[in-house]
Amino acid sequence: MDAEVGTIAGRVRVVLDEIRRAAVRAGRVPDQVRLVAASKTVPVERLREAVDAGIRHLGENRLQEALPKIETLDREGVLWHFIGTLQRRKVKSVVGRFETIHSVDSLALAEEINRQAREAGLRQRVLLEVNLGGEASKGGFAPTELAEALPALSELSGLDIRGLMAIPPPTPTAEDARPYFRQLRELAQALTAQGCRNINMQELSMGMSDDFPVAIEEGATYVRVGTAIFGARGEQVHAEK
Ligand SMILES: *Cc1c(COP(=O)(O)O)cnc(C)c1O
């Protein structure tokens, strides 16, 4: 079993096992937590290994990188998630190609996705990204801003708004990230209580390699895990150049 730890298949098994244990600790059903393998900079051959090991959800940050991967790894049952910063002029190519866009960080972006989705005759599943730490370097709705934007968002019939996503500020330990995860869950509850039609807040996309078990204890339904599955990204970035 130890010999497996160095392989993608072995790491996928370890992560899935940690997900299961965290869910059980929190009295949750493990199937309610979906593992999104965050695969930026990872070559498609390695994604194939992950899919062979049971990964169903792949999360990409950049459209240019994702498109050839989606074409090459054209497997039944694989769902692609867009998790990176999305520029408005790229929206047209993202809509309909990704099962869920996790990173809708402004009303203007939501409106553009709505426009393109309606033009394509579909409803795009999205999550609203929240800037919990108030960090200037990160995008996302401020919590109060989101409450204000909700009525306008609920009018966008090309969007299927399913919940919230956050990338908390870096913390020294996973435990230190817990208050942020809890804050996202409580925000989703508060927004649900606001009672806007067409808006569903049941999905929480939170937790990465260093802290996903804590995020699951606090209610995550998607965890986005890269390094713990594929290893450190540094070398692959080089290889791409
Ligand atoms: C890279 C990335 C992750 C995964 O980060 P790891 O620390 O490697 O697990 C999760 N979410 C987003 C938005 C990312 O860009």
Q: Which CATH class is domain 1-82+212-241?
A: alpha beta
Whose alpha carbon is nearest atom 11 of ligand 1?
A: 224
pTM for the model:
0.95
171-217: pLDDT as tens digits: 999 999 999 999 999 999 999 998 888 899 999 999 999 999 999 99
Measure 121 CA to ligand 1 centroid, in angstroms: 31
Q: Which residues contact 62 (CB under 8 A, 6 or more apart)?
A: 40, 84
Place of tokens 């606001």: 194
What CATH topology corresponds to 85-206? TIM Barrel (3.20.20)
Query: Which atom, in ligand 1's list, is nearest to the CA of 228?
Result: 9
28-76: pLDDT as tens digits: 999 999 999 999 999 999 999 999 999 999 999 999 999 999 999 988 8
Q: What distances in angstroms separate CA 148 from CA 12, 144, 186, one per listed residue?
A: 40, 7, 16
Of residues 26, 9, 98, the one with CA closest to residue 62:
98
Query: Which atom, in ligand 1's list, is nearest to the CA of 84?
Result: 13
**How many other CB atoms are there within 10 angstroms of residue 198's CB atom?**
13
Cα–Cα distance for residue pair 92/80, rounded to 1 Å: 16
Instruction: Considering the chain, tell me which residue range(s) the CATH 3.20.20.10 domain(s) occupy.
Output: 1-82+212-241, 85-206
Among left, alpha and beta (phi > 0; psi -120 to 50; other), residue 148 is alpha
